[in-house]
Amino acid sequence: GIKKHILVIPGDGIGPEVTTWGKAVLEQIGKDFGHEFTFDEALMGHAAIEVTGEPLPDETLAKAKASDAILFGAIGHIKYDNDPSAKVRPEQGLLKIRKELGLYANLRPIMLFDELLGASSLKAEILKGTDILFFRELTGDVYFGEKKRSEDRNTASDLMIYHRYEVERIATKAFEAARVRGKRLCSVDKANVLEASRLWREVVQELAKQYPDVETEHMFIDNAAMQLVKNPKKFDVVLTANLFGDILTDEASQIAGSMGMLASASVGDGTGFFEPIHGSAHDIAGQDKANPLASILSVALMFEISFGLKEEAKKITDAIDKALKDGYRTGDIADATTDKAKILGTEAMGQKVLEYLS
Amino acid sequence: GIKKHILVIPGDGIGPEVTTWGKAVLEQIGKDFGHEFTFDEALMGHAAIEVTGEPLPDETLAKAKASDAILFGAIGHIKYDNDPSAKVRPEQGLLKIRKELGLYANLRPIMLFDELLGASSLKAEILKGTDILFFRELTGDVYFGEKKRSEDRNTASDLMIYHRYEVERIATKAFEAARVRGKRLCSVDKANVLEASRLWREVVQELAKQYPDVETEHMFIDNAAMQLVKNPKKFDVVLTANLFGDILTDEASQIAGSMGMLASASVGDGTGFFEPIHGSAHDIAGQDKANPLASILSVALMFEISFGLKEEAKKITDAIDKALKDGYRTGDIADATTDKAKILGTEAMGQKVLEYLS
Ligand SMILES: CC(C)[C@H](C(=O)O)[C@@H](O)C(=O)O
Ligand SMILES: CC(C)[C@H](C(=O)O)[C@@H](O)C(=O)O
């Protein structure tokens, strides 16, 4: 068995309630497979601002650096969303930890559980067979470029900027992944308008020469946003910048039936960071309504990517698969055909997965 | 009857073949309703580069300024797309004419023809009843901010920038439209990360006070990209910046069944500019395969928006509706249930619409 120290950062909104179940699954698998996991917990986002005034306290960052993997919940609060002039914002915590830990590659697999084909707004025949792995760049772009507001507050700007090495390192990861998957890579940019995209395209074109076994395609972001709905099956590995990746992966969540089903792994220079792609969803926080499966799937990704333990990862996805096959659903993935008695809250769904694990 | 001078700019790829039919419908309606239209033609994009070396020749700009309305086809060529270092690019022509004519508001109505519900990748019950009008800002944002490439070519940037007056003028148009439509406005931004978005949100919030009859909502772009697929009916007027609007409206084209069905109007300080939202589609250019309906619908928008002639606009959309009801389709909007004999090429579909007009 392995020995690992995990930092749990529940975060804001539904973060704490879903993360409880991700952690429970980690513990369960640890017992079953004889791994030794120790845990610590830390604050980030609105939860941290409330206590320390900072969205990412130094203590959290220190704990993060000292851990082998991080399980994160969600970030954000409506209070700041409606106050565009707020100086301190929860999201700054997430952006800063990504930067500080060098988490430049955000992997977002679009997993399709057959049972959820009906839960999507897309037609089943369009969805069936879809299997996409997104590589979203995570520490550059307009997210981290200089932000300015004029003295009179009438002009605001953000710098969209990329350096060659930033594109190279994430593109390399994406090509390596494509090589052992469907051997197709689609790089998404807006090179017909943006200079940053032209650099992006140049670097990907150059790198593509080293991967002659991978079929490389370049697509404009507007077209990609359209093709993803029109014909998602055409994609295998999708490589894109921070902002475009943010948009495309949320859009792609509809392929999986719900945002509540999608996990992500952020990796790079050090400790891996695992989180659902859904947000803090304050409208349903504390109501036992949130879907814990994305947090549990984040743990499956942790086993696969940070610990290299595929069997454990498969055990988790199989348990979820069985729960879905037996008809259990949270509200977000229920449809007209769902047996009402099998629509579960957060707790009950978390428990179900634990049951199916044993 | 009115008297108007129209500039036709066929542009690149399928532009010329579809624009032929937009123009033919203009002439037909002119005859039927006793309007007097005179026409001129000009080059833009790759077509212009080939002849003059410039994507927007001075002559084209002069003719544009002297006209009452412009009917445009499409822009772009694969040759430049794959050459990120090209200095002169077709798209610069389109961006420049938007800027020079002060076309700051791009209106993109998502029209849903009942007959095409089956052609979409979205389920019919998700689509039915959808009626969205996008207001995309068109002369600011990262499209027009300063572009830089470092001496060593390893760093590239584009400035995402907005000024208060730019947000105000497009937001005002969107609020005015919402007031006479469904009275709901959704402003899309990324205010949790971008300073330009925070200015955007501030301005929209302020303006909203003057429109208490309009229900105003703010949504992050990632969420909007998701909601548009999940539940398009929830939107009425969508207001957004240049880049986000580019992405969202292409994505929304799947709601209408195909990009080949969507028209757009760009308006602002002077002459209105009407174009399909589809691109140059070089892969099918010159093959009599392109759908001319978006160009014809652009002419309907011209009647409604530039000339204030609703009856003429309705005559055009009714003719298209009838052609669709009778089962006629171009390839892009055909589905498994389409009578093969009624799948038409560009010319035949254009002719059909002319027939149904009379
Ligand atoms: C919360 C926000 C800053 C974040 C982002 O835009 O990266 C989120 O949307 C995500 O995708 O992880
Ligand atoms: C061709 C391109 C520059 C253009 C844009 O991005 O604005 C196009 O995609 C559009 O939407 O009109």
The alpha carbon dihedral of A115, A116, A119, A123 has a sign of: negative
Average pLDDT over chain B, rounded to an integer = 96
Min mean pLDDT across B173-177, B216-220, B336-340, B347-351 is at: B336-340
- The alpha carbon of residue A122 is apart from the nearest alpha carbon of chain B, in Å, by 4
| pLDDT average, residue stretch B134-160 | 98
Interchain proximity A196–B251, CB inside 8 Å: no
The full set of domains in chain A, from first to last, is 1-112+258-358 (3.40.718.10), 121-137+165-255 (3.40.50)
Distance CA A216, CA A205 (A): 8
Tokens matching residue A315: 């055990």
φ and ψ at residue A29, rounded to 5 degrees: -65, -40
Best residue of A247, A255, A277, A283 to probe chain B, by most B CBs closer than 10 Å = A247
Distance CA B205, CA B214 (A): 12
Distance CA B166, CA B104 (A): 8
| pLDDT average, residue stretch B138-147 | 98
Find, among B120, B25, B37, B197, the residue nearest to A243 by Cα: B197
Distance CA A93, CA A44 (A): 6
pLDDT at res. A65: 97
Residue whose Cα lies nearest atom 11 of ligand 2: it is B246
Tell me if A32 is assigned to a ligand binding site: no
Using the mean position of ligand 2's atoms as its centre, give its distance from the Cα of residue B77 in Å: 13
A90 lines ligand 1 (CB under 6 A): no
The total of other beta-carbon atoms located within 10 Å of residue A213's CB is: 9
**Per residue in B267-282, pLDDT tens?**
998 899 999 999 999 9
pLDDT at res. B94: 97
The total of other beta-carbon atoms located within 10 Å of residue B321's CB is: 16
pLDDT at res. A111: 85
- The alpha carbon of residue A41 is apart from the nearest alpha carbon of chain B, in Å, by 25
pLDDT at res. A269: 87
Q: pLDDT confidence of B151, banded at 50, 70, 90?
A: very high
Give per-residue burial for B326-355: e unless 16+ CB within 10 Å, then b.
Answer: eebbbbbbbeeebeeeebbbbeebbebbbe
Size of interface A-B (CB pairs under 8 A): 197
The answer to whether residue A236 is catalytic is no
Task: Name the residue in chain A with its Cα closest to that of B199.
Answer: A156
List of chain A residues with pLDDT < 50: none
φ and ψ at residue B334, rounded to 5 degrees: -80, 150
Q: Please give the order of strands across the beta sheet that includes A155-163.
A: A147-149, A155-163, B155-163, B147-149
Tokens matching residue B96: 């420049």
Chain-centre distance for alpha carbon B285:
19
Inter-residue contact B101 to B138 (CB < 8 Å): no
pLDDT of residue B119 exceeding 90: no
The answer to whether residue A211 is catalytic is no
Find, among B195, B153, B240, B157, the residue nearest to A141 by Cα: B157
Q: Which residues of B are catalytic?
A: 143, 190, 222, 246, 250
Contacts of B122 in chain A (CB under 8 A): 121-123, 229
pLDDT at res. A200: 98
pLDDT at res. B276: 97
Residue whose pair of structure tokens reads 């929860």 in the numeric block: A90
Interchain proximity A158–B76, CB inside 8 Å: no
The total of other beta-carbon atoms located within 10 Å of residue B97's CB is: 24
A193 lines ligand 2 (CB under 6 A): yes
Interchain proximity A158–B199, CB inside 8 Å: no
Task: Name the residue in chain A with its Cα closest to that of B147.
Answer: A195
**Per residue in B202-213, pLDDT tens?**
999 999 999 999
Using the mean position of ligand 2's atoms as its centre, give its distance from the Cα of residue B301 in Å: 19
Q: pLDDT confidence of B123, banded at 50, 70, 90?
A: very high
A222 lines ligand 2 (CB under 6 A): yes
% of chain B with per-residue pLDDT over 90 = 92
Inter-residue contact B23 to B72 (CB < 8 Å): no
**Per residue in A225-251, pLDDT tens?**
999 999 999 999 999 999 999 999 999
**Per residue in B177-194, pLDDT tens?**
999 999 999 999 999 999
pLDDT at res. A64: 98
**Per residue in A143-202, pLDDT tens?**
999 999 999 999 999 999 999 999 999 999 999 999 999 999 999 999 999 999 999 999
Using the mean position of ligand 2's atoms as its centre, give its distance from the Cα of residue B75 in Å: 8
Please name the amino acid found at residue B174: A
pTM, entire model: 0.96
Tell me if B198 is assigned to a ligand binding site: no
- The alpha carbon of residue A42 is apart from the nearest alpha carbon of chain B, in Å, by 22
pLDDT at res. A256: 86
pLDDT at res. A119: 87
